Amino acid sequence: METDWCWYNCINKMNIISDTSFLMILCYEPIKNMTFLEFKVGKPIFLIHPSIIKELTQIKQKGNIKRSKIANLALEIINKEIIINKNFKYLDDNGYYDDDDDDDEEEEEEGGLDVDSHLLLLSIKKKCPLATIDKNLMKRALKNGADIITLKNNKIVYMHSKIKAKQI
């Protein structure tokens, strides 16, 4: 019976590509229906691209006091959750899992893309939903065939794209 439970946990996980704004809210505001997401799609594993860590670090250093504290909190929670609960995973610059979390290099995004475009491409390529609160990014993602996870009134909202993802 124990192996069945392990098998159940392995199957019922969903990788989610997350942007900076979503992570900051996720770590700062209490989300009322997080169990809804787990029930609907399985345990969420938030995939963190190095550009997100870079953006959080910049906000921590240069943002106003409130945003700086939220960015710092997000960085702390991500590091803690990676070690303890494994709810987050680092990706390398190419979108592969990276166990090494010291990516301090100043590299340009793949193909000169901005961070949002890069995350959208990763979402489509990996067939993972994209977690964001950015309305423009949501429209682009849905238009290109990526599912969206967003927040409305501190509740998780899952939006399915009605079109098939374009080949990249």
How high is the pLDDT of residue 101?
Answer: 40
pLDDT < 70 positions in the chain: 1-11, 95-112, 164-168
Collapse the DSSP code of 92 into the 3-class scheme (helix H, G, I; strand E, B; otherwise coil) and give the result.
coil
Q: What is the pLDDT of residue 112?
A: 66
| 24: CB partners within 8 A, 6+ apart | 56, 59, 67, 70, 71, 74
pLDDT at position 92 is: 82
Q: Which token pair is 101?
A: 């979390």
Predicted confidence at residue 23, as pLDDT, reads 94
pLDDT of residue 52: 94
Q: How many residues does the chain have?
A: 168
Domains of the chain: 12-159 (3.40.50.1010)
- Residue 61: per-residue pLDDT: 96
Return the closest-CA partner of residue 44 out of 33, 31, 34: 34
The conformation of residue 164, written as its DSSP 8-state character, comes to P
Question: For position 154, what pLDDT does the model report?
Answer: 87
